[in-house]
A and B are shown apart, each in its own frame.
Chain A
Amino acid sequence: AQSVTQLDSQVPVFEEAPVELRCNYSSSVSVYLFWYVQYPNQGLQLLLKYLSGSTLVKGINGFEAEFNKSQTSFHLRKPSVHISDTAEYFCAVSGGSGYSTLTFGKGTMLLVSP
């Protein structure tokens, strides 16, 4: 069985400040890791994914994440946030082969203020 823990339910930050959203997972098998963003009243949009290879993954909108196998973490970072980054962010894990369902964390609400 797999599980995902997002340690912060809400992260308030000022515009142009850096941000880190934390994600830890547990799994007995190799995994794929994902970050999705959900803007108000919209569906989920993929920000970035880790399948294999380089542990530093770059995504859309200036976000990046680093896979750390020893710490079973996949934290999301952005060096300078914008008001438009205000949204809910979900970390997810799936089995590392073929088709597999996604197991999501509870989500982190990023609140960017001027």
Chain B
Amino acid sequence: GAGVSQSPSNKVTEKGKDVELRCDPISGHTALYWYRQSLGQGLEFLIYFQGNSAPDKSGLPSDRFSAERTGGSVSTLTIQRTQQEDSAVYLCASSQPGSGNEQFFGPGTRLTVL
């Protein structure tokens, strides 16, 4: 079946602009996660969804970052007023009940803020 998909694959934006990153999880996966991968910081957890609710938002670095999930499926990560330090690869993952929390990752969105 189809894996986790993310769009766009690459996004170049100017400092101060807003961006939206999209994640389409594997069908039937109720849990969805966003991570950020940047040089020197490794992989950082951002936010976790169970269905449409987000019980853990502890990794969002500032109030410029927000995410939502609708219909228990697609999720959008929004970054407002982007800064150069937001440049990174944003990874989405999903998992299903009973899988021992095995997370399946998408290919990522590479965000570059000029």
Contact = CB atoms under 8 A, between A and B. Distances in A.
Contacts of B35: 102, 104
What size tier do the contact residues of chain A reach? 20 to 34
A99 B101 contact: yes
A32 B101 contact: yes
Contact of A46 (B33, B42, B59, B102): B102
A32 B95 contact: no
A92 to B, nearest CB: 8
Interface string A46-73: 1001010000000000000000000000
Given A43-B107, A44-B91, A100 B42 contact: no
B42 A51 contact: no
A104 B43 contact: yes
Nearest to B55: A99
A44 B42 contact: no
Interface in B100-114: 100-108
B45 interface: yes
Given A43-B91, A51-B100, A107-B42, A101 B48 contact: yes
A105 B106 CA distance: 19
A45 interface: yes
Contacts of A51: 100
Given A45-B105, A107-B42, A99 B91 contact: no
Interface of B: 4, 31, 33, 35, 42-43, 45, 48, 50, 56, 59, 91, 93, 95, 100-108
Given A43-B4, A46-B102, A102-B101, 17 more contacts: A32-B100, A32-B101, A43-B105, A44-B91, A44-B93, A44-B105, A49-B100, A49-B102, A94-B101, A99-B48, A101-B56, A101-B59, A102-B33, A103-B45, A104-B35, A107-B42, A107-B43
